[in-house]
Amino acid sequence: MKIEYFHASKFGSGEKLAGEFKRLMSERGITVNIHHMRDVKPKNLPAADLYVFSSPGRLGKPPIYVRRFLQGVDLAPGSRYAILNTQGAAGVNKKGELPTDEELSKYRQMLPIMRKILDGKGLHFVASEVIDVFDLKGPMEEGWEDKVEAFVERVL
Ligand SMILES: Cc1cc2nc3c(=O)[nH]c(=O)nc-3n(C[C@H](O)[C@H](O)[C@H](O)COP(=O)(O)O)c2cc1C
């Protein structure tokens, strides 16, 4: 089994997730090739049994170049994909208030936007997971390695 993994990490958390995903898969005898979306043209992605896409958030959405990358993906309908995102951890505002569910959901439209693009191409969604990142640049939430391992089990 071969997995192609495309991330868009800026500060390193998404890259760490990719490395952990690869490590856990290699323990299971599975090859994972990691790419930054900036380094790859989305047309003609290498053949794989599973594609993983990973994005941070920017103003509630994936960064524009991630949306463009996903829109440019040209894979056979039915190709399997999974999403392993990072997002900003919810914190209190200047008044000491936590965001409401509605505010949080506006800040976190990355997964639905990515799914809409990829499902719209007839690709087959397998699983998703998201990891909270504190203070934009990390650290990631405690126990993130366990969440990645559970994600690995779900995609297999
Ligand atoms: C300018 C800017 C805007 C951001 N906007 C959002 C956002 O709307 N929603 C969200 O969940 N996280 C947001 N974040 C936090 C990023 O998701 C977080 O920095 C990222 O997940 C870290 O991953 P990386 O280390 O792989 O770059 C924003 C970060 C920056 C720098």
CATH of the domain at 46: 3.40.50.360
- Our mutation pick for probing the ligand 1 site, out of 53, 86, 107, counting the most ligand atoms within 8 A of Cβ, is 86
H or E segment at 152?
helix 144-155
What's the rounded mean pLDDT across residues 127-155?
98
Strands 50-54 and 80-88: parallel
Which band of pLDDT confidence, cut at 50, 70 and 90, is reported for residue 120? very high
The residue among 92 and 133 whose pLDDT is bigger is 133
What's the rounded mean pLDDT across residues 53-68?
98
Q: What is the pLDDT at residue 99?
A: 94
What's the rounded mean pLDDT across residues 72-87?
98
Half-sphere exposure of 143 (CA within 13 A, CB side): 3
What's the rounded mean pLDDT across residues 104-115?
97
48 DSSP 8-state letter: -
**Distance separating alpha carbons of residues 114 and 155, to the nearest angstrom:** 17
Range of the domain at 30: 2-155
Residues with CB under 6 A from ligand 1: 9-14, 56-60, 86-88, 107-108, 133, 136
Note the pTM of the prediction, 2 decimals: 0.97
Which band of pLDDT confidence, cut at 50, 70 and 90, is reported for residue 50? very high
Ligand 1 atom with the shortest distance to the CA of 58: 5
Provide the number of structural domains found in the chain: 1
Q: What is the pLDDT at residue 66?
A: 98
pLDDT > 70 in the chain, percent:
100
